[in-house]
Amino acid sequence: MPAVSIIMPAYNAARYIKAAVDSMLAQTFTNFELIIINDGSTDGTATILDGYTDPRIHVLNNEANIGITDTLNRGLTAATGTFIARMDADDISYRARLEKQVAYLHAHPDVGLLAANVIFIDEDGQPIKEAPTAYPGPLSEMVLRWQLLWHNPLIHSSIVLRRAILGTQQFDPTFIACEDYELWTRLLQQTRAVLLPDVLLDYRLVSTGINRTKQAIQAEHVQRIIKRELTAVLGKLPANGLDTLASICTKQQPKQVDNSAFAQAGQILFTAARQVMDQTTEPADQQYILADTRQRWSAIYEMTKQVQSTELAALNWQRRRFELTVDPAGTVRRTLQHQLKRVLGRR
């Protein structure tokens, strides 16, 4: 039985898949199986895969294109390793990637989900100067949990997880996008997640021309996860406020634009921040969560340009309650007072 099962879905990946496969075969850690699921490719992907004779490679062919989520689940079903590693057909893993991640998991048995830092590259394999790495500095576990309330900070193809914590769980087939984010948040109910600061992967950003329909589907899926996770942390929440907050966090227009919805959204945000901050005594963690809360509050507050000035009182009350409980130094207060004056000046 291999120690690691690497799952690589591939669809029309002829341009990049050889580099991706070769980067796995060159790993310093060699006890693995590489499960490649060809999802009905119509280019030369199958021909390239046929050229490999390494016995660690297992190619599964979908008769038709069934999509990323079902394809990943087929790979999970075939996997036999103690650990599951993800790899995309257009990315490049560094030689020591598996060695470092497996060693970390062996040394930290309470960690079930392990990600790594990456370098963003373009279609030609050149580093993207505007965003060279996914994470300019280390992220603590508490900051990671905070981020996972709102979005997915973990690069899918950098993940190695324990098969034991996965059990019979798979990617949710109702998520045709953001399937990784949905699964990670489920797994975190029973394990810890860590992000290694080491850069272990070149993550290729490919121009796919995502249309508005696809963007809307992605936003809808992220909103589902945000609402589920906030409810899990805080209990039953007012539906209008929860919908409004999730919409704003995904840069979508809220369905309900009124005083009560914005006030509820602010209250949910501040309560979540207070709840997470109560779990850490690290000043750096608290500073990060405060700064991030301020940004999210600003996004809510910008929406008040669509409502009447009478709503400012309710929003200001939410801000004051927040600053008294989690911001005694007044960092957020000073910024939000400036925003209040600026918005009031417009009216």
Residue 60 · residue 37 · CB < 8 Å: yes
Q: What is the CA radius of gyration of the chain?
A: 22
**319 backbone dihedrals φ, ψ, rounded to 5°:** -65, -45
Residues 6+ apart with CB under 8 A from 231: 237, 242
Q: Is 345 exposed, middle or buried (0-12, 13-18, 19+ CB in 10 A)?
A: exposed
Report which of residues 306 and 81 the model is more confident about: 81
For residue 261, the SS3 value is helix
Encoding tokens for residue 79?
């996997």
Encoding tokens for residue 269?
């945000």
pLDDT in tens, 119-167: 999 999 999 877 777 777 678 889 999 999 999 999 999 999 999 999 8
pLDDT in tens, 227-270: 999 999 999 999 999 999 999 999 888 887 777 788 889 889 99
**Cβ-count burial 115-152 (b if 16+ within 10 Å, e if not):** bbbbbbbeeeeeeeeeeeebbeeebeebbbbbbbbbeb
Q: Mean pLDDT lowest for which of 181-185, 327-331, 342-346?
A: 342-346
pLDDT at position 211: 52
Q: What is the dihedral of CA 197, 124, 24, 132, to 10 degrees?
A: 0
pLDDT at position 347: 37
pLDDT at position 84: 98
Where are the domains positioned within the chain? 4-204, 212-346
Q: Which amino acid is at 258?
A: D
Q: Tell me which of 3.90.550.10, 1.25.60.10, 3.30.450.20, 3.90.1300.10 is the CATH number of domain 4-204.
A: 3.90.550.10
